[in-house]
Structure 1
């Protein structure tokens, strides 16, 4: 797992963010070894153990997982789910003001977006793939955080590892359409072909929302074999982007 530097909020809480890698889990084969997704064909027992280790090692009260569908629905949660609870259905973002509750989004090329307002004590996580990012899942998450008391000029964002604009090749028509909805996302790959840089588009989108405190994990999931990549491997696991409030 890799962890960003925690924020030091006025509320006495800290915002913590972690991005997992492939290492340290119980999954085998295509999913080796710290796969956190229940929906990719991995052994459910291995996923349960991996998720349990995540909660224990991060010292969380519990972790919220989503059944992601590349949409814009945001869930607001207040209490930790049971370890065997189903993932929240048809949801790609989640927010909370509850300390110790980990919000997890899963990815294997899409952008895990981890948000936090250290003054209000509100955090959020969004799964921003091509479709969801273009449709507005991140603005939806920001609005849901505001409903809990967050302010845009206090929100800090980490854009996690994802397929980079030099690797993410798409048809020219798709690049044009996505860039129309998410300006700044059009790119060219190393081969000179049409591509997408979703993190670049999300940065421009966030700045347009008035969210200016933005950091990025520069790793490309296709290039870094310590990370899962659906585009590189096809059948594979999912890494987790985790954010939570720590009042310790």
Structure 2
């Protein structure tokens, strides 16, 4: 049902990188679809999210979500917002025990952050736009504003589309290099003229390294190639399917 990282193994926190297994959704969404923005049956999504809360050991209403917009916006949360009131942002931080910060992805990079010494957690959604725009740095800064210490922060990148499956235009490579000198090294030649293969996990980990936090790591898993465990927007597009589910990656201070 979910994966964990040894880098986040600490009794002070609960965390999970949920897979698509263990839920009640059917068809394209089978089975643990947590996507509030998908066209799945709302009741099934709600049950899936209740199961996630149970796995995390938090109240069934304590899984917070955002209206993700591929930005570097970060919000501070003290409770899980109502569906219609989800903040438009791509990262969140909190010091409230029992509040699970849940990021939805289907190829983009979910990053879970924790400073257990100072009791601060965070979660970020890092697609190429957010990663380039500074969502990693913004999340670390927001955690510091709540009392975290940079050297005590641990961050783990969950399942993300990997370079062999992520074809982009060479214009994106040029855009990255213009904005962040040295970023072109995360693009390999593509099989088609005018295209390249982008290493999104590599770029995200580089951004984490630049923040000089205590430790950063990756699960090293690709969403695109593992259809049994992960949803993938790009795989769905290539298969010309009507929709796709969303994976949830969540972290909370222990209640």
- Report the TM-score, using the length of structure 1 for normalisation: 0.90
User: Which consecutive unaligned segments of at least 5 residues does structure 2 have?
Assistant: 238-242
CA contact (8 A) 2:64 2:79 kept: no
Alpha-carbon deviation of 1:201? 1.2
Alpha-carbon deviation of 1:108? 0.4
Separation (CA, whole Å) in 2 of partners of 1:181 and 1:35: 35
Q: Write out per-residue CA displacement over residues 85-114 of structure 1, whole angstroms, 9 at most, x where no aligned residue.
A: 436231111100111211000000000010
Aligned residue for 2:244?
236
CA contact (8 A) 1:124 1:145 kept: yes
Separation (CA, whole Å) in 2 of partners of 1:176 and 1:86: 38
Q: 2:32 aligns with which of 27, 34, 45?
A: 34
Q: What is the 5 A alignment of 1:125-204? A: 125-181=123-179, 183-184=182-183, 186-188=186-188, 191=191, 194-204=196-206
Alpha-carbon deviation of 1:204? 1.6
Segment drifting more, 92-101 vs 205-214: 205-214
Q: 1:103 aligns with which of 101, 104, 109?
A: 101
CA contact (8 A) 2:187 2:196 kept: yes
Aligned residue for 1:67?
67
Greater share of helix residues, 1 or 2?
Answer: 2
CA contact (8 A) 1:175 1:195 kept: no
Q: 2:90 aligns with which of 92, 105, 108?
A: 92
Q: Write out per-residue CA displacement over residues 140-193 of structure 1, whole angstroms, 9 at most, x where no aligned residue.
A: 111110110001111100001100012111011112213443554622267485
User: Cα gap change, 1:77/1:179 in structure 2, threshold over 3 Å: closer, same or farther?
Assistant: same
Matched residue SS, 1:188: strand
1:213 aligns with 2:215: yes
Alpha-carbon deviation of 1:7? 3.9
1:245 aligns with 2:245: no
User: Cα gap change, 1:129/1:87 in structure 2, threshold over 3 Å: closer, same or farther?
Assistant: farther
Separation (CA, whole Å) in 2 of partners of 1:228 and 1:155: 28
Separation (CA, whole Å) in 2 of partners of 1:99 and 1:180: 41
**What's the RMSD between the two structures over aligned residues?**
1.9
User: Which consecutive unaligned segments of at least 5 residues does structure 1 have?
Assistant: none
- Report the TM-score, using the length of structure 2 for normalisation: 0.88
Separation (CA, whole Å) in 2 of partners of 1:187 and 1:17: 31
